Structure 1
Amino acid sequence: MHISEENTESGGRYVAHVDGFEAEMTFSRASGHLIIIDHTRVPDALRGKGVGQALAEYAVSRARAGEWKIVPLCPFFKAQSRQHPEWSDVLQ
């Protein structure tokens, strides 16, 4: 699985390419040190393969590297963050 990042002035997305399909986790920038993860989309063909989890872990690693916080607005990311207390350092 390859995950890339696309950025705009107001946000961006993390994109996973798997078996010819594309999954994404989108985010908005609230400030230079705060992003809002607002949506995760995983095609049916990739469900159950850990793609959403990989996108969430990528978002957490990027937040740690950039020293910013995440507001988990997306229901999927919010649920994942409850299952991963070790992510608390990047959650607001």
Structure 2
Amino acid sequence: MSEAFTIRHQADDARGRYSIDLGPAQAELTYRVLAPDLISADHTFVPPAMRGTGAAAALVERLVADARADGRRIRPRCSYVEAMRRRRPEWADVFAP
């Protein structure tokens, strides 16, 4: 799904942010680094103009792909990320309680 969007990733040692720009609207997913191998997905926001486009799902897919590639696990504190985790059992290896 994320191929349909250009997703930007900004990060430092303490936190990170994935974002998608569509005109004046911007969707985002933010996270905090809890340990070198653990991040906390804290917040997903999609403005009304972008809802129903798959933007939020694309952000979570990118988060999961990057976490897997980096050997990190995700603690889902955001309700949307938690809902996606439940729908995608193949992601179980990437999520921490």
User: Does the alignment reach a TM-score above 0.5?
Assistant: yes
Give the % identical residues: 38
**1:43 is the counterpart of 2:47:** yes
Identify unmatched segments of 5+ residues in structure 1.
none
Preserved CA contact (<8 Å) 1:2 1:18? no
Identify unmatched segments of 5+ residues in structure 2.
none
Aligned alpha-carbon RMSD (Å): 0.9
Residue range with higher mean Cα deviation, 48-57 or 5-14: 5-14
Equivalent pairs, count? 92
**1:78 is the counterpart of 2:77:** no
The offset of 1:21, in angstroms, is 1.9
For residue 11 of structure 1, the aligned residue among 15, 21, 26 is: 15
Q: Hey, what does 1:25 align to over in structure 2?
A: 29
The offset of 1:87, in angstroms, is 0.6
**1:90 is the counterpart of 2:94:** yes
Q: TM-score under structure 2 normalisation? A: 0.91
